[in-house]
A and B are shown apart, each in its own frame.
Chain A
């Protein structure tokens, strides 16, 4: 019932000479690999192999969760890591399965493409001798136009028709195989699109605080994380800079976000200077890059005036902790604090840092640990002051969002007090220095990307869909007509005139074929129903051609 059945796996010819044994083995393995059964098994393996990717945290999506997993399961995690369980979709075994599947696919469709191409150009085969054996079979009076009239009706109905003497063979539904091949070829194209994207694409993520001083340019160094495909060089990144001018968000009374909009100024050698808006579902499309808005938060502006009277500002973004009220945590570090202006001598043990929790809408009463609402209705900054060597000079790469806990543990950094500050309030520390909470700036989390595979991917997906529909809804079938002289000896009304024997064969699973066959036969037959007018109509049509 299928156009392409399982290839017989038993045909390995008995090896005549030794060297052929290897060849035969190879040929057999190839046959095995390209059989439908293997495709089925590989499809299953692929589905099963994807499961751990949803159960275990994945590095590509949430590296923090992977780290958490390592902390929670110190024994299991490294073992899982060794088999690539935290990067399932890039792991050797996952890749092996899909590469085998696609090899099988190519091996499967190449001969079918060739055969189908031939079939498209070849003529429908001759009618079988014994038509009565076909699934559909009937004998009726032939239309007066004979073979030509039959062929005419079939052509009108878009059958591919071949007339051989007093026989007509017709075939329809090539669309099924065409669609099927288009579908499977598109699958390969999809894979190529994905590969293109990962080879020639790049992406970078970063936070961008509002204000002219915080503008950033599209270079690799300016991203917190950047991923460049193996075929991309840092110098290939288009040159443009972005400045966040404004960020608007609207929230529902429940705190659920309803609307975001970021306004930026774009400029740079590769982009004309202009102002642009973008939002969560409508990224900013620049020439060879798109800028996506992924998140937002607050960057408290903190001024620290050291005991010599020198002031410094910090407006580092505080990271949101994931609750609805945008409770944020962060660090304001002043490594250059308490440099004696008279001597210029640095005092490494007099550096200052403040860790803080920022609540855009603090509750009425303590504890001030969880914000009630994402906009600034009652902003409160809860600071812990630290003094000492922050460890930034030691060349240990530290996070700009967290105090280096090693320095705290070893006592090189000491806590010197905590205080709750509202906007505009100042806190005087024990050494006479002051901290001021001036207000906040908005920041946005951006992802800047270029994916050259996206367009090919979209096109192949469209082709895939078209092919799939053709494949699923197309129906290949053949009908044969043979006009034979009527049996003059019989006393039936048809005696004397010729008869036609009709056979039909659905080549794919097609429950409705019997109906179609009946209708088709009726249509052919209708051209010659004993009624004169029908006969005449058929005659006129023939005469017109």
Chain B
């Protein structure tokens, strides 16, 4: 069962790669087309205000031969979405088999943690996509993130299955970790439109240099920003709850709800930064760009907590599993 899970992870990575290639082809074909239709940038600037409404496909005032690349691009994008869904299923199967093999929830160490967080991220992405099909082109960034993280998990963080140490074997462990994992997954997904927005809004302001040009095919900035906020506003209370649940568990296990262990300290930092994001977004005098950077910073602090603290610092949170 354990070996099956490992294989499934490998297949999931391959499926994410296929999905990424699908999305990339869509991107590339779209670009090739706009190189012919030079009027595109102006149109897109106009379309930018349209929120989540897809930027209208560049003018098709031309012959069917011109239309074919567009259809092909769309097909590639749909293949990307399909492959993402297949990858997500493989990913889920990998988690389930891992959990069955270990006879517990698959969140016992960093490897399993990253695997679960990325799954939540991709599952939430599919939900978002289902509700807002027009966001499809964001899939390129998302699959890139998935490939990177899941492959890192498999290549760097992999550990064989072991049961939990007694301190982790608790009711509150399940509540605390499941909510942390869930919130982290949504934050992970949230950083994709956040970065997309930062690039796209630069693009819409006429910037054509390196990172901004990549945003040419992305949905409009306003919609990306809204999605960023919606995901963060959804994840933040869950994260808050998870931190509180962690404090309750820490009280039972170590006799104090909060002890400024490195892991707790970084959870505090992330919480404060995300609270800062919500504040910044609610403050009219703070530009949306600045607010979104804060959200990205929040995610970096989450990464720091996940990788940095488990690897560099020693604390009571002994679940890293790397020695």
Contacts and interface: CB of A to CB of B under 8 A. Distances in A.
B182 to A, nearest CB: 15
A51 B240 contact: no
Given A252-B162, A281-B169, A294 B283 contact: no
Interface string A29-53: 0000000110110011011001101
Contacts of B256: 203, 449, 451
Contacts of A283: 252, 255
A43 B236 contact: no
Given A39-B279, A457-B257, A260 B166 contact: yes
B254 A292 contact: yes
Nearest to B167: A280
Contacts of A95: none
Contact of B241 (A37, A281, A465): A465
Contacts of A40: 276, 279-280, 283, 286
Given A258-B163, A280-B253, A454-B251, A6 B226 contact: no
Interface string A56-88: 001011000000000000000000000000001
B237 A47 contact: no
B291 to A, nearest CB: 10
B130 interface: no
A46 B315 CA distance: 21
A511 B51 contact: yes
Contacts of B62: none
A468 interface: yes
A257 B166 contact: yes
Nearest to B273: A47
Interface string B114-133: 00000000000000000000
B284 A465 contact: no
B165 interface: yes
A2 interface: yes
Nearest to B301: A47
B259 A449 contact: no
A43 B279 CA distance: 10
Interface stretch (B64-72, B199-207, B261-269): B261-269
A46 B51 CA distance: 35
Contact of B265 (A43, A50, A256, A511): A50
Contacts of B226: 511
A451 B247 CA distance: 14
Contacts of B46: none
Most chain A beta carbons < 10 A, residue from B166, B259, B283: B166
A292 B286 CA distance: 47
Contacts of B172: 281
Interface extent on A, as a size class? 35 or more
B166 A468 contact: no
Given A447-B255, A465-B237, A458 B248 contact: yes
A38 to B, nearest CB: 11
Interface string B159-197: 000110111011111000000000000000000000000
Nearest to B290: A40
A47 B272 contact: yes
A281 B253 contact: yes
Interface string A471-482: 011000000000
Contacts of B279: 36, 39-40, 43
B282 interface: yes
Contact of B275 (A43, A252, A457, A473): A43
A72 to B, nearest CB: 15
Interface string A245-289: 000000010101111100000000000000000011111000000
Contacts of A465: 237, 240-241, 244
B176 to A, nearest CB: 12
B280 A472 contact: no
B140 interface: no
Contacts of B272: 43-44, 46-47, 50
B169 A36 contact: no
Interface in A308-355: none
A223 interface: no
A44 B286 CA distance: 14
A469 interface: yes
A162 B66 CA distance: 59
Given A40-B283, A260-B166, A449 B255 contact: yes
A297 B68 CA distance: 74
Interface in A394-413: none
A532 interface: no
Given A2-B282, A47-B269, A51-B269, A259 B259 contact: no
Interface string A1-29: 11001100000000000000000000000
5 contacts: A36-B282, A194-B258, A260-B166, A294-B254, A465-B237
Interface of B: 51-52, 162-163, 165-167, 169-173, 226, 229, 233, 236-237, 240-241, 244, 247-249, 251-262, 265-266, 268-269, 272-273, 275-276, 278-280, 282-286, 301, 309, 313, 315
Q: Which 10 A-B pairs have the closest CB atoms?
A: A292-B255, A281-B170, A54-B265, A54-B262, A47-B272, A36-B283, A447-B255, A43-B276, A280-B166, A461-B244
